[in-house]
């Protein structure tokens, strides 16, 4: 039975990746942080199943800020594959909590690389990098060779981590991979990310539980895909014979306004009656035309995303309803 270790297992991607790996016969170990509230809702269906939890799914307490705890788990579990998904992931918030963002995203990755480097049998390692490393890109769409020009602390931290993955891969000959992930969504997306916020609001307004929706820049554009496709890509990237970086993206740009119109239409509402602009939600530095070219992942991994934003939004609104 192959063994995987996932940091960030309680998040959207961690939960879908856990399901995917369990379906492939893996033993899955997850790193969880001690917090005052037990945030395990996305794993509850697995956690509550005695055939799975404690057998093929095991959770361990550790923290990216606590290298001793990480080292202990990596030595004890001796995983074949590590999927590093953890870290503060809200771009807007990274301006408010820059130090802790950089510590978890950048230094957290460095700590894991330093531990892995010392292991007698280093695991294959997937780092969830982000389109935010490109910020103001020189080329549209971006590919694996596009230079990194981040425009916020989160993007800078991810660029640092992605750069270290490349350096440690070359210097130490380790199997380390950056998956450069563009936005990917699902009903399990955190509630403060824009697609989930919009889909939740459209459903709640249609059921009389909310009055209106406040948004920042609705002309902002993103390349949004289905999170389940992206976790499949993570696994495929670690099965490739050589460690290489891969872009995972749909290649299609949409505006936040497109998401608003799609979501309110699924909920049977006229968006113009309910959507308001809130200046406090505007970001000082918006990235520009972040849209990915995933041709390499398609060619080498056979990876292909679904491209239909309408279907994605429908799935999310219906889940809220």
Q: Is 144 a catalytic residue?
A: no
Contact stretch for ligand G4F (CB under 6 A) within 59-67, 115-123, 136-144, 215-223 = 215-223
Dihedral pair phi/psi, residue 314, rounded to 5°: -60, -45
Q: Which of 70, 85, 151, 215 binds ligand G4F (CB under 6 A)?
A: 215
Q: Are 215 and 260 in contact (CB under 8 A)?
A: yes
SS3 34: coil
Q: Which of 29, 222, 232, 254 binds ligand G4F (CB under 6 A)?
A: 222
The sheet that has 81-84: what strands, in order across it? 57-61, 27-32, 3-7, 81-84, 124-130, 176-181, 246-248
Looking only at residues 243 through 262 of this chain, which bind ligand G4F when binding is defined by CB under 6 A? 256
Q: How far is the CB of 182 from ligand G4F (least distance, A)?
A: 5
Q: Is 132 a catalytic residue?
A: yes
Tell me, residue by residue from 109 to 138, as one string, x for binding to ligand G4F by CB under 6 A and - for no binding. ---------------------xxx------
Q: Is 83 a catalytic residue?
A: no
Tokens of 304: 């292909």
Q: Nearer Cβ to ligand G4F, position 57 or 231?
A: 231
Does residue 285 belong to the site contacting ligand G4F (CB under 6 A)?
Answer: no
Report the first-to-last Cα separation within the chain, whole angstroms. Answer: 39
Strand pairing category for 27-32 and 225-226: unpaired
Cis upstream peptide for 169 (omega within 30°): no
Q: Nearer Cβ to ligand G4F, position 33 or 72?
A: 33
Spot the catalytic one: 56, 104, 130, 186.
Answer: 130
Q: Which of 7, 104, 183, 186 binds ligand G4F (CB under 6 A)?
A: 183
User: Running DSSP on this structure, what letter comes out for residue 292?
Assistant: B
**What CA–CA distances, in Å, run from 167 to 114, 176, 214, 257?**
12, 10, 43, 40
Contact stretch for ligand G4F (CB under 6 A) within 16-24, 30-38, 189-197, 306-314 = 189-197
Dihedral pair phi/psi, residue 35, rounded to 5°: -130, 165
**Closest to 292 measured CA to CA, from 239, 236, 243, 246:** 246
Strand pairing category for 124-130 and 176-181: parallel
Spot the catalytic one: 47, 154, 182, 230.
Answer: 154
Q: How far is the CB of 135 from ligand G4F (least distance, A)?
A: 11
Q: Nearer Cβ to ligand G4F, position 220 or 266?
A: 220
Residues near ligand G4F (CB under 6 A) are 89, 91-92, 130-132, 181-183, 192-194, 197, 215-217, 220, 222, 256, 281, 283, 286
Q: Which residues are catalytic?
A: 130, 132, 154
């Amino acid at each position: 039975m192959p063994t995987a270790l996932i940091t960030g297992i309680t998040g959207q991607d961690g939960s879908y990746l856990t399901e995917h790996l369990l379906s492939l016969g893996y033993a899955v170990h997850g790193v969880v942080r001690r917090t005052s509230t037990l945030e395990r809702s996305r794993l509850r269906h697995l956690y509550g199943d005695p055939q799975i939890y404690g057998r093929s799914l095991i959770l361990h307490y550790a923290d990216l800020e606590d290298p001793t705890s990480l080292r202990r788990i990596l030595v004890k579990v001796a995983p074949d594959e590590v999927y590093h998904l953890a870290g503060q992931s809200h771009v807007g918030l990274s301006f408010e909590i820059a130090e802790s963002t950089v510590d978890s995203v950048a230094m957290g990755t460095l700590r894991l690389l330093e531990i892995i480097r010392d292991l007698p049998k280093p695991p294959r390692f997937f780092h969830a990098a982000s389109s935010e490393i490109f910020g103001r890109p020189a080329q549209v769409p971006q590919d694996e060779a596009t230079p990194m020009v981040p425009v916020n602390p989160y993007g800078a931290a991810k660029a640092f981590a992605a750069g270290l993955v490349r350096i440690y891969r070359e210097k130490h000959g380790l199997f380390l991979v950056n998956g450069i992930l563009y936005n990917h969504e699902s009903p399990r997306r955190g509630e403060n990310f824009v697609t989930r916020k919009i889909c939740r609001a459209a459903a709640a307004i249609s059921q009389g539980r909310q009055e209106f929706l406040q948004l920042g820049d609705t002309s902002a554009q993103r390349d949004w895909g289905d999170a389940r496709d992206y976790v499949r890509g993570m696994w495929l990237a670690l099965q490739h014979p050589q460690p290489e970086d891969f872009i995972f993206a749909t290649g299609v740009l949409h505006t936040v306004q497109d998401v608003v119109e799609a979501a309110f239409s699924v909920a049977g509402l006229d968006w113009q009656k309910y959507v308001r602009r809130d200046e406090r939600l505007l970001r000082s530095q918006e990235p520009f035309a972040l849209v990915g070219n995933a041709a390499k992942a398609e060619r080498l991994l056979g990876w292909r995303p679904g491209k239909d934003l309408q279907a994605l939004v429908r799935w999310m609104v219906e889940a809220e309803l």
